Structure 1
């Protein structure tokens, strides 16, 4: 089970817009598009969350609406915010997080069943991670 996104509440099993917080979300997107700064946009919108949480808000596609969640942000506003996020990543040399995979995938990894090698859970986890391999791109 996941949490209810900021700007929504669950009422009688249905997701409904929590208008005061939804308006903050709308303002966050508007201000971010104006100034390009997550921190400044969040402050202006009155959202007191960490930088990473604000980033998750801005990339949360649920705000454009799903079968369960009503629309808070229109698709054009959401798309414009994603363009700005990508441009900021390029200009701040964080492009690795936004570089699309040629086939639209993040990557494919595989791991075989991992045998227990260590009693120490940290060493066992380290060993398990060492068994992960990337599948060659075709």
Structure 2
């Protein structure tokens, strides 16, 4: 099984809420929603973690409860934290928009000039033959 999220522990093969750390998770969400930064909210909650770890905690849907993990926070709090995080990201200009990939243009028809030489070395003959190939494709992909 993978890593157990902060706020839970395993007893007899089942995930149960660890009340001490679960209260820290609830405090983290409340502090973040009150306007604190991730690191300040983590400090208020008594959680020692890096910025990325706190960000993962704020986006971890397991805190809502699923088939294995019981719920620590309610859906409204989780949705509010997601909306607040999105608002802050946009405000700070940290949204990475995907660039449209450049369309690759592949030659679809070829023209070969008339052969005028016959060489004894097969490698030189092949090199010469390839040098006679010309493409007939425009840059926009049309012929």
Common topology (TM > 0.5): yes
Structure 2 SS opposite 1:68: coil
* 1:44 correspondence with 2:44: yes
Question: CA offset at residue 16 of structure 1?
Answer: 0.1
CA distance in 2, matches of 1:36, 1:91: 15
CA contact (8 A) 1:36 1:84 kept: no
* 1:20 correspondence with 2:20: yes
Moved segments of 4+, more than 6 Å? none
Partner of 1:69: 69
Q: Deviations over 1:16-67 (max 9, x none)?
A: 0011000000000000000141111101000010000000000000000001
CA distance in 2, matches of 1:92, 1:2: 33
In the alignment of these two chains, the number of paired residues is 98
Partner of 1:122: none
Q: Deviations over 1:80-120 (max 9, x none)?
A: 00001001110111112xx7x9xxxxxxxxxxxxxxxxxxx
Structure 2 SS opposite 1:76: helix
| Structure 2: unaligned runs, 5 residues or longer | 99-143
**1:73-112 alignment to 2 at 5 Å?**
73-96=73-96
When normalised by structure 1's length, the TM-score is: 0.68
Alpha-carbon RMSD: 1.3
When normalised by structure 2's length, the TM-score is: 0.66
CA distance in 2, matches of 1:15, 1:8: 6
